Amino acid sequence: MLRAGAVALANFVIGEPLTPEAQAETRRGIFDAHLHIPSDNGENFQWHLVTRNMPEFVAYLDKCGVRRGVISSSWSNKAQTPEDYRQGNREVAKYADRYKGRFRGSCVITPFRIDEALREIERCRKEYGFVWLGEFCNYMTGYKYDTPEWAEVMKLATKLNLVIQIHTNVREMQSLAEKFPDTSIVFPHLGGNRDDIFARIAIVAKHKNAHIDLSGSGIERVGILERAVKEIGADRVLYGSDFTINEPSAVIARVKNAFLTAEDREKILHRNVERLLARAG
């Protein structure tokens, strides 16, 4: 039954505002599942630098209303050697500790020297408390997701009960979701065109271990978020921005203005990522 003042349309709810209590909680708690910090070595994914360091990074998130987030290092994403990704992960650990309670750290590796990569994942879990891996972007350094080495990364993520966030195309997405049904996988980005978006939504809907975050392209298309929630369910759709690359508040506006229930918006903006992190320990 709809509450007074709400109107149903195609299984969505229009005009159902957050209660004052929920509004206050959401303002305190918006949780971004997809953040790339500006690195101490100057690595930054912005095309024109406006948030050049962590204080500026945090100040911008404050302005957007993002109070918490999962952070990874752009230094690690472009790593060519274990020394590079170790430096990036140590940087993440430093800022997760400095802003304790605000950011949760994520470990990023490249699988070229797989024994060292696996040791780094274990160290990040044991010493720094990281329960999130990624975002992994294989196109940046040229590795593949269909190799024995990458299978070892997935198996370790499953063994350690970690969440793994993987930037993929549709073919890779389908393969990973099918091959690793016991691994909690977050696929960033809705997609770039209609067919791609609908295919990605369908893959996540089919595989109960899979989740999607709303960063990047696709979210600006009115109706796509509503379709994702209808097909996947609100419990496996996460707010993510891909900041410092993309603008955090644009995705928040789409979530807040979407034809969804107040409960679904709360799940997307913070409850779902909280649950994933809690389940991972």
Count of CB atoms situated within 10 Å of the CB of 98: 11
**How does pLDDT run across 119-165, given as a tens digit for each residue?**
999 999 999 999 999 999 999 999 999 999 999 999 999 999 999 99
pLDDT over 70 at 16, yes or no: no
Helix axes 82-98, 114-128, angle to 10 degrees: 10
Q: Percentage of residues in the chain with pLDDT exceeding 90?
A: 86
Structure tokens at 82: 């274990």
User: What does pTM read for this prediction?
Assistant: 0.90
Count of CB atoms situated within 10 Å of the CB of 27: 12
Contacts of 180 (CB under 8 A, 6+ apart): 154, 155, 158, 209
**How does pLDDT run across 186-230, given as a tens digit for each residue?**
999 999 999 999 999 999 999 999 999 999 999 999 999 999 999
Residue 176 three-state SS: helix
Round to whole Å and give the CA distance between 204 and 202.
Answer: 6
**How does pLDDT run across 59-117, given as a tens digit for each residue?**
999 999 999 999 999 999 999 899 999 999 999 999 999 999 999 999 999 999 999 99
Round to whole Å and give the CA distance between 70 and 240.
Answer: 9
What per-residue confidence (pLDDT) applies to 40?
A: 87
What is the average pLDDT value for the chain, to the nearest integer? 91
Structure tokens at 132: 């999130």
- Please give the CATH topology (third level) of the domain spanning 31-280: TIM Barrel (3.20.20)
